[in-house]
Structure 1
Amino acid sequence: MSTDKQKKIAIVGAGLGGAAAAALLQEAGFNVTVYEQSEEFSRLGAGIHVGPNVMKIFRKIGLEQKLSDMASHPDFWFSRDGETGDYMSRIPLGDYALKEYGAPYITIHRGDMHATQIDHLKPGTVQFGKKLSGVEDSGDDVLLSFEDGTTARADIVVGADGINSKIREVLLGPEDPTYSGWVAHRALITGEALAKHNLSFEDCVKWWSEDRHMMVYYTTGKKDEYYYVTGVPQEKLEFEGSFIDSSREEMFEAFKGYHPVVQALIESTESVTKWPLKNRNPLPVWSEGRLVLLGDACHPMKPHMAQGACMAIEDAAMLTRCLQETGIDDYATAFKLYENNRKERATRVQSVSNANTFLRDQEDPAWVYGYDLYAQDLKTEG
């Protein structure tokens, strides 16, 4: 009988979750190939929070220190009233996170983190330009077909292909995600532009009002990039695609009456994009046959809690644990174990994130940041 090392795992999608799954599975001795529809990756202008819950996973991969060295390490997550600037909460991070949660809390450029993850994989792991066109689970293996005319076979397939997942469609049928009624504006501001203002810019702060917010933080340890992402209600989605260009004028209108620091950020913005926030209800199943989902493919969420990518990486770590427990031959048990040990937490985070209440007021976030996936006993029942 062939060993797990001879069997093949295909991951569809080389985003943050897919790259983490590939690294963890390789570290565990599995044979992995990642199929990515993009021709190449670029340093897209977006930031990301990485909590201690996920830095512990990067520790296992061997990337914790490298990511820490390039990232910003905020001492607090501040929440402030958008108009008055009054503090609504001060959530300790920094040294407190190291002591209480067992790992650092960082903010980093998404592209820098992603490139570090991809570079860590074995050469040839990621196959670019592989847009999936067909999936056939014969029961003995899975045949993947791509738009470039090539095919590949695998013993199991991990769908890490995002909210519009082709693997999810195979499991549950075609269904468009729903528009949430919110958009997110995203922009990177240079440290040079910030220096023109005689103002204090905090390392990590979320400005709130009743129906909108702006989250702002540094994306590098050098603090030469300051990033913001918003949540703003917009009743109708008036454009197609992932995003469109926005403008300072639109931002000034959206945040009229907000604090002078927010006005200075908008004034310093050279370019800003606007993204629709889309969603899905919790899925009835995360796997079927030899196919299994992770991350946004099975539990997409609004970015308001800064844990979407972290949940995908936690999924990757738990799926790896379960496959190590059972072996690939007993993939059905592994997939059931994986869902039993992830669904409750992922659904809770999805719900809180979508509600946009996390850390608005003073609270203890230990249930999120203090979580250690490797310290959890595997539950055989959900």
Structure 2
Amino acid sequence: MSKARLRIAVIGAGIGGLAAAVALSRADCDVTVFEQAGGLREVGAGLHLGSNGARILHRWGLGSRLNSVGVRAAALEVRHWQNGRVLTQQTMGATWEKRFGSPYYTVHRADLHRILAEQLGGARLRLGSRLIGLNEEEDSVRLRFADGDSAQADVVVGADGVNSVVRGNVTQSGAKVFSGNSAFRGLVPADSIPDLPTKTLLIWPGPEAKLLLCPVSGGSAWAFVAVVPDSGRHPESWSATGRVEEVAAALAGWNVDVDGILGAITEVGCWPLFDREPLSRWSNGRVTLLGDAAHPMLPHHGQGASQAIEDAVALAHCLTRPEGPQQRDLPGDSSPLTEGLLRYEALRRPHTARVQLGSRDGGTMRLSTASPPDSVAGQGQAPLGQMVEDVSWIQAYDVEEALGKPVDADGPASGF
């Protein structure tokens, strides 16, 4: 009986899709990534790569590349929105790395995207391929594209974002939930605000808005995010532009450092903050979901990229380890494939649901100007250190260690 490598179609070439392609290629799968855009590029500004995501990329041999473009955050500072005084500080850097076993990076989204694209290896990339439909056949899935082309795969991975087309082939649940906020984001040159401490994450919680600043691009630029109340007037889009005047109005009357940031902004993106209720299922037959297609989350834990990278590792493991097929029989029984996808879902769905729901009111959203100077808002006015403790379990999580433990394909009792 002839043997062939497992054919995987990954829909979407964002960070999650590229991470999936890298992980699956490393597991000797035959991977094709289908991207609707005509060019391979990633929009956006800065992102946080937690220790849990960074440990995977280091194991893939990408530590030197991350060190060249990312910044290992040395500290987190919370400052008063009006007078700029440092209210409290949390040490990160080597202390964080020792505690969680891997560095914590802030990195330009495009830089991380480029690093992953360089690692595709034998995976193929097809640009200008907008998926319009899927049909599962007896031993494969047929994909149909807007240009009239088609393709076949043994497994389809929907990594096509919060507005996933693939998700409709898996489940109809998971209505969008608007947070009531939008995020204005962009970049400013580091030399335009030279008085701010390098390698430091800065947060100014104001009466309504919050401003976050982190170094990216090897420290040559700052990425900013201003989270402001929004009645829903901005269209939902990952790449929509905003007006600098809106950011300036939201932060009017703040301190001199914030004025310096505002003066350096030349363009800004606007990102209405939506997520979805955790899905009851990720997989249907030979089709599964990954990253934002499976668990779109608000940015307040800084975990979007890291959770997608963890998904990629788990998916590759569950499809190619001894308990799942590394090669497909021609012809053969496809049940091990669907079982592998169920194992993947059983491991990842409860974990990402916890992160997803915690991101709604955790992390930086707990910071409030009404709190005492060394505290954040929340029950008992928990100090900043407690806010870090809230996410320590995420940073310490090792998906490869978790994969070494038996996982019930029906999923553990999680309430999700």
Q: TM-score if structure 2 supplies the norm length?
A: 0.85
2:377 — aligned with what? none
Q: 1:172 offset after TM fit, Å?
A: 2.1
Task: Give, in angstroms, the shift of residue 91 of structure 1.
Answer: 3.1
**CA displacement, residues 237-285 of structure 1 (integer Å, 9 cap, x when unaligned):** 2446545433332212111232321221111111112121222111111
Aligned length: 378
Q: 1:379 aligns with which of 407, 412, 415?
A: 407
Deviation, 1:235, is 1.0
TM-score, L = length of structure 1: 0.92
Letter in 2 for 1:111: A
Supply the distance in 2 between the matched residues of 1:352 and 1:87 (Cα, whole angstroms): 26
In the TM superposition, residue 353 of structure 1 has moved relative to its aligned partner by 1.2
Matched ranges for 1:1-382 at <5 A:
1-3=1-3, 5-42=4-41, 44-87=43-86, 89-122=88-121, 125-173=124-172, 177-195=176-194, 198=195, 200=197, 203-221=200-218, 223-239=219-235, 241-325=237-321, 326-328=323-325, 329=334, 330-358=336-364, 360=367, 361-363=384-386, 364=389, 365-376=391-402, 377-380=405-408, 381-382=411-412
Measured after TM superposition, the shift of residue 151 of structure 1 is: 0.5
| SS of structure 2 residue aligned to 1:245 | coil
Equivalence for 2:330: none
Q: Distance in 1 between matches of 2:318 and 2:123?
A: 25
Contact 2:81/2:206, CA 8 A, preserved across alignment: yes
> Is the CA contact (8 Å cut-off) linking 2:159 and 2:293 kept in structure 1?
yes
Aligned-partner Cα distance in 2 for 1:184–1:12: 26
- Cα deviation 1:90-140 (Å, max 9, x = unaligned): 333211122111111111111111011111112562111110011001242
8 Å CA contact 2:53, 2:305 repeated in 1: no
**Structure 1 residues 92 and 134, CA gap change in structure 2 (3 angstroms):** same
Unaligned runs of 5+ in 2: 326-333, 368-383
CA offsets, 1:20-71, max 9 Å, x none?
1111111111111111111112363411111111111112322122112221
Q: Tell me the distance in 2 between the aligned counterparts of 1:169 and 1:379.
A: 26
> Given residue 186 of structure 2, which amino acid in structure 1 is its aligned partner?
A
**SS of residue in 2 equivalent to 1:10:** strand
Q: What is the CA–CA distance in structure 1 between the aligned matches of 2:174 and 2:313, rounded to whole Å?
A: 28
For the 8 Å contact 1:248–1:267, the answer to whether it is kept is no
Query: In 2, Cα distance between the equivalents of 1:100 and 1:218?
Result: 22
List runs of 5+ in structure 1 lacking aligned partners.
Answer: none
CA contact (8 A) 1:23 1:61 kept: no
Offset at residue 334 of structure 1 (A): 1.4
- Residues of 2 paired with 1:71 and 1:312: CA distance? 18
Give the conservation status (yes or no) of the 8 Å contact 1:181–1:237. Answer: no
Separation in structure 1 between the aligned mates of residue 138 and residue 310 of structure 2, nearest angstrom: 28
Check the 8 A contact 2:142/2:151 in 1, yes or no: yes
Q: Distance in 2 between matches of 1:341 and 1:88?
A: 39
Q: CA RMSD in A?
A: 2.2
Between 1:60-69 and 1:133-142, the stretch displaced more is 60-69
> 2:406, 2:396 → 1: CA distance?
18
Q: Which whole-Å CA distance do the structure 1 matches of 2:175 and 2:226 have between them?
A: 24
Give the conservation status (yes or no) of the 8 Å contact 1:12–1:34.
yes
Deviation larger for 112-121 or 85-94: 85-94
Separation of aligned partners in 1, 2:50 and 2:173: 33
Percent of aligned pairs sharing the same letter: 33
| Range that drifts further, 257-266 or 100-109 | 257-266
More deviation, 47-56/88-97:
88-97
